Amino acid sequence: MARLEGVKVEKLQGGLNRLATGTDNHVALIFGGIPVGAIATAVNNAGKGVVLASVYDAEVLGINESFDANNNCLLYADIVEFFEYAPTATLYLFNSTVKADIKTFINQNKEIKGYGFALDYNSEAPNLIATINEQQLIADEFAAENRLIDFAFLGFNNLDDYTEDLFALTAPIVSTFVNCSDASGTVRIGAALGMLAVRKINENLGSVNIENKPLAKRGALDYPLTDEKKGLWIESYLPNGETVDSQDKAVLTALRNKGYIAAVAYEGYSGFFFDNSYTCVDRESDFAFIENNRTWNKAARIIRTTLIPEVKGRVKKDPTTGFIASTTVSRWTGLVNKALEGMQTADEISGFDVYINEKQIVNQDSPVKVKAMIVADGIVHEFEVAVGLTNSI
């Protein structure tokens, strides 16, 4: 029909997508125990891994309850728990814990913000500290290339020695978990990843409640690991096969004081929750908690992305001093301010300040110095309440 269009209508895709917007909850689960065969080949995907948007995607690969039973593992169970706690998150699956393979995998998936895996503890050839340091080295090497990793979650199956002081290490990206849901000694990294992915970047992994619950849990007063109807986390164990509740309080205190993250309960309150969000670094560090790393990294990514279009651009100078013109400084400051306002609007930070000194000479050997201060939210770790009796108020 020979008629003019006048108005063109474009069909957009993605409006009904179940996935969450943004990539803050794009995380990876690494499982090195998949036996050689078709499933391992598919998961490896020439070093790229596979992307899972639901439990069904794992089942299509052949990872199901039978897979776990036949291989004496909990990979499928971990994937189920991940999507149980974070149903709109994105999970990347990979099958090698070798450093070079992990780096190749992460390099090919630019949206991954962090990863986790569990491996068997070996007391004869201690691998706890060595593995922690290696994962921190991976993060450091990526950071040198301007790729920021928010976290690396490690679990050590059958660990029965908690004497290592993780706060004495310098691995602020790494967190070590000792959370098991049964007496098998297998650390449940899938639960940890899911509980992190469902939270905003500035929420503590151990928060009893979360700010944005999945639709099925809205209206609930908290967000525990425990789901009695589905049989999830009815009890919490340590990797040595003992229940957390059976331990003396001194044992739990010792675990906390050395930086191990367990699933614990509060006296008089039902359900299990992660104890905290420690990282393997001195507790006085600005990055002693996972949420601090996630917040700083997101701000750094935003600032870098905002300023990259300005690189190699012309810079107006003050003709009298030769320094940067005030109008240019104002424009740069405005760009970064506007970018960071998005984090404040999303309630991810309490505030920020950006400062650029005009008295700078700009040339190939002198980068423009920008100072940005981010006011991170605080976290309530405990309340101290004084209660008394009185005859009247």
Answer whether residue 224 is part of any domain. Answer: yes
Answer whether residue 195 is part of any domain. Answer: yes
Say if residue 79 is in the same domain as residue 164.
yes
Contact 292/330 with Cβ under 8 angstroms? Answer: no
Contact 157/78 with Cβ under 8 angstroms? Answer: no
Q: What is the pLDDT of residue 8?
A: 47
Say if residue 215 is in the same domain as residue 332.
no
Neighbours of 129 (CB within 10 A): 14
Say if residue 112 is in the same domain as residue 248.
yes
Say if residue 105 is in the same domain as residue 235.
yes
Q: Which of 154, 111, 7, 304 is nearest to 296 (CA)?
A: 304
Mark the ranges of the chain whose per-residue pLDDT is less than 50: 8, 10-17
Answer whether residue 17 is part of any domain. Answer: no
Distance CA 264, CA 132 (A): 23
| HSE-up of residue 325 (Cα within 13 Å, Cβ side) | 9
Say if residue 151 is in the same domain as residue 57.
yes
Answer whether residue 288 is part of any domain. Answer: no
Largest CA distance in the chain: 90
DSSP code of 382? -
| Structural domain boundaries, residue 263 | 26-274
- Among 216, 248, 274, where does a domain finish? 274
Pairing mode, if any, of strands 351-355 and 371-375?
Answer: antiparallel
Percent of the chain, pLDDT > 70?
94
Answer whether residue 306 is part of any domain. Answer: no
- Among 214, 244, 274, where does a domain finish? 274
- Among 274, 289, 324, where does a domain finish? 274
Answer whether residue 160 is part of any domain. Answer: yes
Say if residue 335 is in the same domain as residue 195.
no
| 122 Cα distance to chain centroid | 26
Say if residue 99 is in the same domain as residue 32.
yes
Say if residue 251 is in the same domain as residue 321.
no
Say if residue 117 is in the same domain as residue 38.
yes
Distance CA 200, CA 1 (A): 53
Q: Which of 237, 357, 341 is nearest to 299 (CA)?
A: 341
Answer whether residue 21 is part of any domain. Answer: no
Say if residue 35 is in the same domain as residue 152.
yes
Say if residue 265 is in the same domain as residue 344.
no
pLDDT tens for residues 96-146? 999 999 999 999 999 999 999 999 998 887 899 999 999 999 999 999 999
| HSE-up of residue 26 (Cα within 13 Å, Cβ side) | 14
DSSP code of 161? -
Which residue spans within the chain are E strands per DSSP? 26-30, 50-52, 90-94, 114-120, 151-157, 174-177, 260-261, 263-264, 273-274, 351-355, 371-375
Residues facing 351 on adjacent strands? 375
Answer whether residue 1 is part of any domain. Answer: no
Say if residue 223 is in the same domain as residue 368.
no
Contact 23/101 with Cβ under 8 angstroms? Answer: no
**What domain count does the chain have?**
2
Please say whether the dihedral angle defined by the alpha carbons of residues 94, 179, 182 and 272, taken in this order, is positive or negative: negative
